[in-house]
Amino acid sequence: MKSKGLGDTIAKITEATGIDKLVKFIAGEDCGCDERKEKLNKLFPYAKPLCLTEDEFNTLDTYFKQNTNTLTSDEQTSLIAINNRVLNQKLTFSTCSSCLRDLVSKLRVIYNEYSPEQTEEVTTEENAVD
């Protein structure tokens, strides 16, 4: 069975080494391992992002070229929709500034993978080093 996240990987390691049996012997059958495994899977999933559609890329392109630190409610709604589809998450509208910064940061990383300007900058920097 393929691991969904870090919790599954740790569970496989503890099973292979026999640590899980030792913990269950000491702590009993309900040692909390399943809850920890699910929590770690949720915090550190292994899911691969989906590719951006052309419309999604254009939305991100427009937003990031504005070079602003503000986010309108319409922009937030669009960015959340892109994030939820591409990263298979269920984020909702938020007024939490750190949550919004995280959202924008994750989408910037994905956007930069597609951005031709980013590729040109890297190529220019590599040539400058040579």
Q: What is the pTM of this model?
A: 0.58
Tens digits of residue pLDDT in 31-89: 888 899 999 988 888 878 899 999 999 999 999 999 888 899 999 999 999 999 999 88
Does residue 110 carry a pLDDT above 70?
yes
pLDDT of residue 88: 85
C-alpha span between 18 and 34 (Å, rounded): 16
pLDDT band for position 116 (cuts 50, 70, 90):
low
Q: What is the phi/psi pair of residue 104, to 5°?
A: -65, -40
Q: 53, 48, 44, 118: which is closest to 81 by C-alpha?
A: 53
For residue 19, give every residue at least 6 positions away whose Cβ sits within 8 Å of its Cβ, in sequence order, or none.
Answer: 13
The mean pLDDT value of the chain amounts to: 86
For residue 121, give every residue at least 6 positions away whose Cβ sits within 8 Å of its Cβ, in sequence order, or none.
Answer: none
Among left, alpha and beta (phi > 0; psi -120 to 50; other), residue 105 is alpha
